[in-house]
Structure 1
Amino acid sequence: MKAAVRNYQARMQRVLDHIDRNLDGDLDLETLSGVAAFSRYHFHRQFSATFGLSLHRYVQLARMRRASHQLAHCQHASVTDIAMAAGYDAPDAFARAFRQRFGQSPSAFRKAPDWAPWLAAFEPLDNARSQLMQTTFSDNDVSIRTVAPTRVAMFEHRGDPATIGATVQRFIAWRKAAGLSPRTNPTFNIWYSERRPADPADYRMDLCVGLADDQSIDPGDDAVRIGEIPGGRCAVLRVTGDTHNLEPAALFLYREWLPASGAEMRDFPIYCQRFFLDDPDQRPAADLFLPLI
């Protein structure tokens, strides 16, 4: 039964990965049902049942999210080119849809993005990616590593987790300005609170960039500070594919692996390192670290 569930999950994940990599391509029902190797007569219902929104709506939102990123971060790309890549036949149709969804015209968003309505508009897309059936982990998926201390630049997020997207955008912009490429400086997240605290104002996490011991930077933002992820023994669980929501993996470590292992936790929060697997598909992955004594 578990093998069948994993196979079904993998086929659905293939579809999401294909959409992400081929937003300029033909993403119709025939094509995507073929990617999943499911019957085209049932696939639209399977997709809606799994992700909570239609295939067409998912593709539309994915293309619009890319378009908004291009507007904010790719100044060399024209609005017309961005509109065409998002599947619109004319810039005015794109502008109407963009304004309806975000409350700003594409040109106004490019100059000064308002991230609050942006976050609300893409909540269905984020929820859909989180709805993929929960991955089943086992004790064999957990390894024990002794890691070295890692010097990092920490970009703080404090407050409602619903606004984390805006912080991520600021983090990306700051990282680019500082010349800290993910290829040379690894990415970490540190969580100090649960994913959905009773009071959203209590949510706290750091987005981090690894630094060499002799590497100096100009923080350039009040949210940035220099710190360290301490070394020591850690239980490590790898998650591949959809790493948007790592809570199921964290719950497995706390609720199942830890009691059975007899291990004791160190006084440092759970954290992860994000990267891409070195394979032809370049799938995203995250190693989740639970610090141990």
Structure 2
Amino acid sequence: MTTATDRYLARFRAVLAHIDAHLEDTLDVDALAEVAAFSRYHFHRQFSLLFGMNVGRYVQLLRLKRAAHQLAYRDDARITDIALACGYEGPEAFARAFRRQAGQSPSAFRAAPQWASWATDLQALRALRSQHMPAQPQPHSVEIVEREAVPVAAIAHRGDPARLGQTIRTFIAWRREHRLHPSVSATYNIVYDNPDDVPPEAFRMDICVATPAPVAPNEAGVASTTLAGGRYAVLRHTGSDDTLGQSVAYLYADWLPASGEELRDAPLLFQRVRFYPDVPEHAAVTDVLLPLR
């Protein structure tokens, strides 16, 4: 049975979901108060006290975060279009807001992203969303499938997850050069470590794209490998990577003990189906593949 507190929090989760789905629209406090069915005279204070930041700051951070990912990983996205999608009237106002947040102009960030200057704000945003917009997988969401081996081109990331962005940029450039677009060539991550369980310098992950073609030696460090075939438990995670760990934890801690299945000696895989920032965070899709005997 739900309590009054549960129902109260559910109304605010509806607001967070509405913001995610309408991030490119006008999001004034009156409209958001109506979504929650709260008085507009009190909504702003309620939001701030519950989440630790006011609603305007929350919306701004979400918009600037997506803009930063577009700048860093989508060279074909025009800065003017990114500015308009963030709700700014033009690139000048967007540039001022972005520089205040990131410490770099949009063009400088695109050339050489520096995330450290706003890592604290991003962590606060991640914590808020992880707590109040958790992944909610169900047993019926898990499917056991037999998969064929997949030849891939892979780039290895070794070391601090904070530097993963540079590895991604290198991989995207190599992938674009070889015309392996995500719409026709599936994207995978080979996940060797949980970043919460190992020191930053020990973290390991490979980023892969499906291709049967051999990979010639290259400066990017991309090389051929094969994703093992066999039986996998597959759980579809829809939403932000901020809660992806919760879906992984569900597979290991809840589904696996109740399933009677045994794990195979092979690493966890993610298959990236729909990508942020090409889609809003709530619409991103990742299949989590747990190898079974």
How many residues of Structure 1 are paired with residues of Structure 2 in the alignment?
283
Q: Which runs of 5+ in 2 are unaligned?
A: none
Aligned to 2:113: 113
Q: Which runs of 5+ in 1 are unaligned?
A: none
Cα deviation, residue 104, structure 1:
2.6
Aligned to 1:77: 78
Q: Counterpart amino acid of 1:286? A: T
Q: Counterpart amino acid of 2:231? A: R
CA-to-aligned-CA distance 1:45-67 (integer Å, 9 cap, x gap): 66556655332112212322344
Q: Which moved more, 1:264-273 or 1:254-263?
A: 254-263
**Residue 15 of structure 2 contacts residue 32 of structure 2 at CA under 8 Å; is this kept in 1?**
no
**Residue 70 of structure 2 contacts residue 77 of structure 2 at CA under 8 Å; is this kept in 1?**
no
Q: Counterpart amino acid of 1:39? A: F
Cα root mean square deviation, aligned: 3.5
- State the secondary structure of the residue aligned to 2:236: strand
Alignment of 1:61 with 2:64, yes or no, is: no
Task: Choose which of 15, 19, 28 in structure 1 pairs with 2:18.
Answer: 15
**Residue 116 of structure 1 contacts residue 166 of structure 1 at CA under 8 Å; is this kept in 2?**
no
How many Å separate the matches in 2 of 1:74 and 1:29? 34
- State the secondary structure of the residue aligned to 2:132: coil
**Residue 187 of structure 2 contacts residue 271 of structure 2 at CA under 8 Å; is this kept in 1?**
yes
Cα deviation, residue 193, structure 1:
0.9
CA-to-aligned-CA distance 1:188-237 (integer Å, 9 cap, x gap): 122111131341111111122122x3x35557443422111111111122
Aligned to 2:261: 263
Q: What percentage of residue pairs aligned between the two structures are identical?
A: 42
Alignment of 1:149 with 2:149, yes or no, is: yes
Cα deviation, residue 10, structure 1:
6.9
**Residue 243 of structure 1 contacts residue 285 of structure 1 at CA under 8 Å; is this kept in 2?**
no
Aligned to 1:124: 124
How many Å separate the matches in 2 of 1:134 and 1:76? 30
CA-to-aligned-CA distance 1:96-147 (integer Å, 9 cap, x gap): 4433333333343344333443655533333333333433433322221111
How many Å separate the matches in 1 of 2:87 and 2:33? 20
Aligned to 1:205: 205
In the superposition, relative to structure 1, how do residues 107 and 240 fare at CA in structure 2: closer, same or farther (>3 Å)? closer
**Residue 152 of structure 1 contacts residue 210 of structure 1 at CA under 8 Å; is this kept in 2?**
yes
Alignment of 1:189 with 2:189, yes or no, is: yes
How many Å separate the matches in 1 of 2:238 and 2:76? 32
**Residue 272 of structure 1 contacts residue 288 of structure 1 at CA under 8 Å; is this kept in 2?**
yes
How many Å separate the matches in 2 of 1:100 and 1:269? 41
Aligned to 1:249: 247
Q: Which moved more, 1:252-261 or 1:228-237?
A: 252-261
**Residue 190 of structure 2 contacts residue 207 of structure 2 at CA under 8 Å; is this kept in 1?**
yes
How many Å separate the matches in 1 of 2:164 and 2:243? 13
Aligned to 1:101: 101
**Residue 50 of structure 1 contacts residue 132 of structure 1 at CA under 8 Å; is this kept in 2?**
no
TM (norm. structure 2) is 0.78
